[in-house]
Amino acid sequence: MPIADITMVTHSHAILNIALLSKRGKPFLHFYALLGAVLPDVPMFVFFIVESMIRKTPQRELWGSRYFMEAWQTFFDLFNAVPLILIVLGIGYYLLNSERLTVFAWSMLLHCGFDFLTHHDDGHHHFFPLSDFVFESPISYWDRDHYGGIVAPIERLVTLVASIYLFPRLKTRLARWSLIAINVLSLGSYLLFFLFRSR
């Protein structure tokens, strides 16, 4: 699983979650939806930086064995554990009555739900620490052997539709231009890393 496959889907989580969780008149919630959408993938970027850039681990070993090491898997699971996120949601909604924390937790849950359905043999222990069960979805967002060639363009289409819906809700030029730039880069990365790479 090349790092390009990770970066291509992280922005989709962000756009979809902001579109789903945004509220008219409350643009400040966009940041918390963004944070919750991106946070579950942060450990993956840390893993890539440490293993690839610092330790100089070869790509085949990186994704073939290092990715599945217990220490790294636990690190990933901490940020993708539904029971832990539900605790945060409960604290935000019931104890603190915090709309910001509630949106943040819901955004993390949406990310985990999407991952649950689109990871075949590289999924997380989403029920950590209660269970080490890993669901092997029949479809993958990147693996051609598990319909990645179909899922990837659907993902980009859904992200584009969400972007069109979200665009008028963004209040600043910077936010709107960022949304446009992300979609352009997404299309470029898809063409470069998915369509044109060797099968």
Tens-level pLDDT at each residue, the chain (199 residues): 544 455 457 889 999 999 999 887 888 899 999 999 999 999 999 999 999 999 999 988 988 899 889 999 999 999 999 999 999 999 999 999 999 999 999 999 999 999 999 988 888 899 999 999 999 999 988 778 888 888 888 888 999 999 999 999 888 899 999 999 988 887 777 676 655 554 4
Q: What is the pLDDT of residue 1?
A: 53
pTM for the predicted model, two decimal places: 0.88
Q: What is the pLDDT of residue 90?
A: 97
CA–CA dist 65, 23 (Å, integer) = 43
Nearest to 43 by CA among 2, 6, 95, 83: 6
Q: Positive or negative, the Cα torsion across 84, 90, 95, 100?
A: positive
CA–CA dist 79, 39 (Å, integer) = 7
Place of tokens 């044109």: 196
Q: What is the pLDDT of residue 187?
A: 78
DSSP state of 198: -
- C-alpha of 182 from chain center: 14
CA–CA dist 38, 55 (Å, integer) = 25
